[in-house]
Amino acid sequence: MTSSSKTSVVIVGAGPVGLILALRLAQAKVDVTVVEAQNKIDDAPKAIAQLPAILSEFKKAGILEDLVAAAGTLANTTFVFRRTSDSSIIFEPPHDPNRPGVLLLPQGELCRIACEHLKRLENATVLMGHALLSFDDSANGVTARVSTPDGPEKTITASFLVGADGGRSTVRKLAGIGFEGETLPCQLVASDVYYDFARHGGFKHANFMVDKENYGLISQITNDGLWRVSFSVPLGSDMKDIEAIAPERYEAMFPGPRPLEYTIDRLAPYKAQQLCATTFRTGRVLLAGDAAHCKSPRPAKSNG
């Protein structure tokens, strides 16, 4: 048997964009429902940095204080450019101590905190394990059909539907909105590694490694020794290839004595892309975040 509910805005996707949008709408007294296909908030680090431009929005949403507390010593950071061959600093942008720096915090933590704040609001609902199946868009509103963890489908009627469900957006595809741009002939890997960069090389915060072949990013993720190490691999490399190439990249990029002692927590390949939806709105359906525009990740969100 199909159940039904009504709200003002239904948001598909419980990532940072969907959750913070829902939070701001609910704070403005707009009824909102978030539906997410996964059964829990994704706790993977993914994007690990928030640039200063977005911090004022976090403050408006009432979550900045909690984000800063969660980041600890990584709440006001800087970045440098280093030569890969000897780890020497090539360029260090000036940092104004009177202005906020980069907030280093795993995306999973950002989502957890945003979701906690959202759930405190009576006019907000978060439905985990609910995947969008289809929707009908009319002049009077949108009716979304979603699956549920228990089996029976559910319909949600709203004034607007927002797709904040990532680069492979189901909302965008169901709406028939094009996604145009280019995928560059470059394959990259975001790896999360436990290694003492501070002790072995004096590294802190974010470090862009400059080299013709062994280029990438080495950045702190957490205060317990987890670092993001991004590097390139030959186009078409599969996971087996990446697992074989990673030690070679680490050997070239890591400071410290040999043999290196590190622990790989995660390897996540991705492609360099510059893509944009042909429109961000059709009828009562809107797109936000990566569902609307997707660019290759550099150090942070809010950088483009």
The string of pLDDT tens digits covering residues 176-218 is 999 999 988 889 999 999 999 999 999 999 999 999 999 999 9
CB 135, CB 161: distance < 8 Å: yes
Of 146-155, 226-235, 257-266, 290-299, the range with the lowest mean pLDDT is 290-299
Q: Are 137 and 99 in contact (CB under 8 A)?
A: no
On whether both 173 and 217 belong to a single domain, the answer is no
Q: How distant, in Å, are the alpha carbons of 49, 68, 116 from that of 63? A: 15, 9, 10
Give residue 158's domain range: 3-78+102-179+275-295
**CA–CA separation, 18 and 124 (whole Å):** 12
Nearest-angstrom CA–CA distance, 211 and 81: 11
| pLDDT tens-digit series, residues 129-178 | 999 999 999 999 999 999 999 989 999 999 999 999 999 999 999 999 99
Instruction: Dump pLDDT digits (tens) for 261-286.
Output: 999 999 999 988 999 999 999 999 99
SS3 of residue 169 by DSSP: coil
Query: What is the pLDDT averaged over residues 232-261?
Result: 97
Check whether residue 230 and residue 136 sit in a common domain: no
Partners of 58 in beta bridges: none
Q: What share of the chain in percent tops pLDDT 90?
A: 91
214 φ/ψ angles, rounded to the nearest 5 degrees = -95, 65
Query: What pLDDT, on the 0 to 100 scale, is given for residue 302?
Result: 39
Q: How far apart are CA 194 and CA 137, in angstroms?
A: 48
The pLDDT value given to residue 289: 98
Residue 229 has pLDDT above 50, yes or no: yes
Helices 16-27/107-119 angle, 10° precision: 30
Answer yes or no: is pLDDT of 297 > 70: no
Which pLDDT value is given to residue 1?
A: 62
Least confident piece of the model among 36-45, 92-101, 130-139: 92-101
Pair type for strands 216-220 and 226-233: antiparallel
List Cβ neighbours of 205 (8 Å cut-off, separation of 6 or more): 74, 77, 78, 79, 80, 102, 104, 219, 220
pLDDT tens figures, 52-79: 999 999 999 999 999 999 999 999 999 9
Report yes or no on 30 lying in a domain: yes
Task: Tell me: do 168 and 33 sit in the same domain.
Answer: yes
Note whether 215 and 169 are within 8 A (CB): no
DSSP letters, 170-181, are HHHHHHT--EEE
Question: According to the model, what pLDDT value does residue 304 have?
Answer: 39
- Say yes or no: 167 and 262 in one domain: no
Is 300 domain-assigned? no
Domain of residue 67, CATH code: 3.50.50.60
Residues 6+ apart with CB under 8 A from 112: 41, 43
Residue 301 lies inside a defined structural domain of this protein:
no
pLDDT at 301 over 50: no
Mark out the alpha helices in the chain (DSSP H runs). Answer: 16-27, 52-61, 64-71, 107-119, 170-175, 197-201, 239-253
106 with 155, same domain: the answer is: yes
